[in-house]
Amino acid sequence: MVIYSPIYSADGESLLPRTNPAGYQEVIENLSMSLDPRTANQLREFHNKTNSGIKNIEISGLTPGVFESIPKEHLDEIKRSAKLVNANLSLHGPLVEASGVGERGYTEENRIGAEKQIESAVLRSHQLDPKGNISVTLHSTAQLPEMTPKIITEKGKEDVGLYVINTRTGQIGAIQPQERYFDEKKIKEEGFTGEKIPFKPLEELEKRNEEQWSQQLAGINRYASYGEQAVSSVKRALKEEGEEFHKAYDFITQGGDMSKLKLNVPEEMKLKAAEKELTSGRIYLREAYREMKTLIDDAWAAAEKSDNKKDKEKIKKFIQDVSPSIVEGIEKSPRYIEQLGEVVEKGLRVLGNMEKTPEVFKPLNDFVVEKSAQTFGNVAMTAYEKIKDKNTLPLINIENPPFGGGLSSAEDLKKVVIESRKKFQENLVKNGVSKSEAEKIAEKTIGATWDVGHINMMRKKGYSEKDVVAQTKIIAPYVKHVHLSDNFGLDHTELPMGMGNVPLDKMMKELKQAGFKGEKVIEAGNWWQYFAEQGGGSPFKPSIENFDSPMYSMYAGPTWSQSGVLPGYYMGPSPTNPPIHHATYGSKFQTLPLELGGEIPGGQSRFSGTPNQ
């Protein structure tokens, strides 16, 4: 008896059409392919991809060094070639920290440097498509960690810290959870219960600002006290020495020449000691005055920002009252030493009665949004000024980095986009554009790139698929560009769609409902890093299989997911008609099992019913 051992899978699944792993169908013409971001030879990459029939291409230079190494001539050739093959282009700019915040804190010099790098990328993108609005993707942050870290517990999301920045020094610090039990309000209502007070980072930040403000006022008061004590001490000491010595105080403060006084040696020594102490007092008062001016500036800026009319009125009245005393040389000349002390004393009274404490420490997250928006808004304005045809401005699309990094949530990305538009709009209005027209230009020029794989990484923090979809709904109205990469929510793997658990179908529904019509770019970095180097080719092929993309333009089928079982074509690692078939079943497959079309016992073919020849 002949036994047929199966060479296919036990259940025969390998003979069935593939399903759609991505859960979302997309036609090839709506998909774009990012080039290998590791190489500056984007021209070669472009030709390799367009030779295989891909029509939408995203030029990629993720590191500043690689991006700046792309020759101008290559960009010109890519533009020419794209026109020849009717390809659409987009650009992924270098990963640059737009806010200017680095490992050592913030400096305006770093922010301006980042602005120049991003500006170069945007202007060079116009070289690729001078007649259209090329999309330029730029990350919201390039290296910053999550600045408002949270964890998922049985009670929901809980804060576990807050990064803050000293706006005066640019130094970064952290507010960590502390065990607190003394709650004045609760003690008054319920008595002391011994229960731990929940950690509220913003309340802790407010306390820190109040403490900082009090310490600064205390410092000014201390300097002022030292100065005033020195002045009083000198006046008292000279008065005790007699009328002539008392007159010497006026002589010293007027900067007189002591050699003109007819003093004996002991008297001269006493006068020199008095002059030295008075100089010391003047130095203290001068330092107090300078610190006071800084705090007046901080208080006014805070009142302006919050539109605190009472605080602004207090500061205005103080300046009006002391303006007659503030004469040229008040800080340096001994003759104004008492006036200096009076001005500082009045300033302390005003600063100590501010309704709103200025924010010396600010949430780093808010600060980064503000500075990044300044950078993106300025870059958009530079492009507007330098590109003659305003209808061809590059589109600045700000991307969410992998979740767990800075500004990686939909809420934060939305803030960056909105604030960047506001900054661009302000710049336009300053240059003579009407407010309504500036709003339209800013809304068209600045949007978001939504990376579906990056946001899926929130799962490792305890979030669910519903949370991933909810994030997409928040950012959907601002999305103009989409990056397609898959993962399992745990690491930044960037697989072709359908190979992980990104809920793409639900996410795309949210985007479409919000009116999304932009490009969808396959961005599979892991394919470049591992599989392409081992003969795996381009991630485009597995992507269109997983998207169940139709093979032909009528979109009726067959689809690329069925390519593995179509006659004469096989996408897997072995041919459709492997040699083992002939070795097992004969050259004419006479010994195939009946289920696979083999012979019917009795010498007749099961297909024709006639005897076999």
In this prediction, residues 153-172 reach a mean pLDDT of 85
Residue 18: the pLDDT is: 55
- Which residue pairs, CB below 8 angstroms and at least 24 apart, start in 152-160? 152/461, 152/462, 152/463, 158/199, 159/199, 159/200, 159/201, 160/199
Residue 560: the pLDDT is: 75
Residue 27: the pLDDT is: 83
Pairing relation of β-strands 395-399 and 135-139?
Answer: parallel
Q: pLDDT tens, 182-226?
A: 777 777 777 777 777 788 888 889 889 999 999 999 999 999 999
Residue 437: the pLDDT is: 96
The tokens for 164 are 């803050």
CA distance 442 to 425: 6
Residue 254: the pLDDT is: 64
In this prediction, residues 368-391 reach a mean pLDDT of 96
CA distance 233 to 118: 61
Residues above pLDDT 70, as percent of the chain: 82
In this structure, of 50-64, 317-331, 366-380, 597-611, the range with the lowest mean pLDDT score is 597-611
Residue 263: the pLDDT is: 60
Asked whether residue 441 carries a pLDDT value surpassing 90, the answer given is yes
CA distance 545 to 495: 13
Which residues contact residue 365 at a Cβ distance below 8 angstroms, ignoring those fewer than 6 apart?
Answer: 147, 148, 163, 406, 407, 412
Residue 2: the pLDDT is: 44
The tokens for 47 are 């030709």
Q: Which of 302, 325, 322 is nearest to 312 (CA)?
A: 302
CA distance 498 to 116: 38
Residue 186: the pLDDT is: 73
Write down which residue in 333, 359, 385 finishes a domain: 359
Q: Which of 335, 343, 334 is nearest to 292 (CA)?
A: 343
Together in a domain, 461 and 419: yes
CA distance 146 to 303: 30
Residue 199: the pLDDT is: 81
Pairing relation of β-strands 101-102 and 105-106?
Answer: antiparallel
Contact, 438 vs 425, CB < 8 A? yes
Would the pTM of this model clear 0.95, i.e. be above it? no
Asked whether residue 255 carries a pLDDT value surpassing 90, the answer given is no
Together in a domain, 346 and 382: no
Position 69 in a domain: yes
pLDDT confidence band for 264 (50 / 70 / 90): low
Residue 11: the pLDDT is: 46
Asked whether residue 600 carries a pLDDT value surpassing 60, the answer given is no
Together in a domain, 519 and 501: yes
Together in a domain, 374 and 354: no
In this prediction, residues 539-550 reach a mean pLDDT of 82
Position 599 in a domain: yes
Task: Specify which residues 163 forms β-bridges with.
Answer: 174
Asked whether residue 415 carries a pLDDT value surpassing 90, the answer given is yes
Q: Which residue has the higher pLDDT, 512 or 607?
A: 512
DSSP conformational letter for 379: H
Together in a domain, 348 and 210: yes
Q: Which of 372, 377, 374 is nearest to 401 (CA)?
A: 372
Burial category of 262 from C-beta neighbours within 10 Å (exposed 0-12, middle 13-18, buried 19 and up): exposed
Contact, 460 vs 489, CB < 8 A? yes
Position 565 in a domain: no
CATH of the domain at 507: 3.20.20.150
In this structure, of 3-7, 18-22, 105-109, 521-525, the range with the lowest mean pLDDT score is 3-7
Residue 473: the pLDDT is: 97
pLDDT confidence band for 582 (50 / 70 / 90): low
CA distance 153 to 204: 21
For the chain, the average pLDDT equals 83
Residue 571: the pLDDT is: 41
3-state secondary structure 436-481: HHHHHHHHHHEEEEEEHHHHHHHHHHCCCHHHHHHHHHHHHHHEEE
Asked whether residue 557 carries a pLDDT value surpassing 50, the answer given is yes
In this prediction, residues 128-139 reach a mean pLDDT of 94
Residue 574: the pLDDT is: 44
CA distance 589 to 339: 112
Q: Which residue has the higher pLDDT, 547 or 398?
A: 398
Asked whether residue 579 carries a pLDDT value surpassing 70, the answer given is no
Together in a domain, 46 and 125: yes
In this prediction, residues 172-176 reach a mean pLDDT of 90
In this prediction, residues 44-71 reach a mean pLDDT of 88
Q: Write out the DSSP string of 183-222.
A: -HHHHHHH----PPPPP-HHHHHHHHHHHHHHHHHHHHHH
Position 418 in a domain: yes
Residue 347: the pLDDT is: 93
Asked whether residue 176 carries a pLDDT value surpassing 90, the answer given is no
Asked whether residue 125 carries a pLDDT value surpassing 60, the answer given is yes
Side chain identity, residue 418: I
Q: Write out the DSSP string of 21-41.
A: TTS----GGGEEEE--TT-S-
By three-state DSSP, how is residue 514 classified?
A: coil
Together in a domain, 346 and 384: no
Position 139 in a domain: yes
Residue 12: the pLDDT is: 43
Which residues contact residue 613 at a Cβ distance below 8 angstroms, ignoring those fewer than 6 apart?
Answer: none
Position 170 in a domain: no
Residue 580: the pLDDT is: 55
Asked whether residue 96 carries a pLDDT value surpassing 90, the answer given is yes
The gap from C-alpha 374 to its chain's centroid, in whole angstroms, comes to 12
Q: How many domains does the chain have?
A: 3
CA distance 410 to 34: 23
Residue 422: the pLDDT is: 97
User: What per-residue string of b and e applies to 192-202 under the rule 16 or more CB within 10 Å gives b?
Assistant: eeeeeeebebe
Contact, 9 vs 30, CB < 8 A? no
Residue 45: domain span: 21-143+367-547
In this prediction, residues 291-305 reach a mean pLDDT of 91
pLDDT confidence band for 110 (50 / 70 / 90): very high
Pairing relation of β-strands 446-451 and 156-159?
Answer: unpaired
Asked whether residue 352 carries a pLDDT value surpassing 60, the answer given is yes
Together in a domain, 484 and 591: no
Residue 343: the pLDDT is: 92
Together in a domain, 335 and 375: no
The tokens for 169 are 């020094």
In this prediction, residues 307-314 reach a mean pLDDT of 92
Write down which residue in 359, 376, 405 finishes a domain: 359
Together in a domain, 316 and 376: no
Q: From the CB of residue 188, how many other CB atoms can be counted at a distance below 10 Å?
A: 8
User: What per-residue string of b and e applies to 434-451 under the rule 16 or more CB within 10 Å gives b?
Assistant: eeeebbebbeebbbbbbb
Sign of CA dihedral 465, 470, 471, 473: positive
Asked whether residue 4 carries a pLDDT value surpassing 50, the answer given is no
In this prediction, residues 591-608 reach a mean pLDDT of 52
Q: pLDDT tens, 489-536?
A: 999 888 888 889 999 999 999 999 999 999 999 998 777 777 766 556
Asked whether residue 606 carries a pLDDT value surpassing 50, the answer given is no
The tokens for 596 are 């696979």
Together in a domain, 591 and 529: no
Torsion of CA 353, 355, 360, 365, to 10 degrees: 170
Position 266 in a domain: yes
Strand-by-strand arrangement of the 361-363 sheet: 172-175, 162-166, 361-363
pLDDT confidence band for 240 (50 / 70 / 90): low
In this prediction, residues 82-98 reach a mean pLDDT of 94
Residue 256: the pLDDT is: 59
Position 516 in a domain: yes
CA distance 317 to 491: 58
Residue 484: the pLDDT is: 95
Together in a domain, 58 and 81: yes
Q: Which of 516, 492, 488 is nearest to 502 (CA)?
A: 488
Residue 259: the pLDDT is: 61
Q: Which residue has the higher pLDDT, 525 or 385?
A: 385
Angle in degrees, CA 214, 215, 220, rounded to 5: 100
Residue 327: the pLDDT is: 81
In this structure, of 151-165, 245-259, 418-432, 509-523, the range with the lowest mean pLDDT score is 245-259
Contact, 387 vs 132, CB < 8 A? no
Residue 364: the pLDDT is: 95
Asked whether residue 611 carries a pLDDT value surpassing 60, the answer given is no
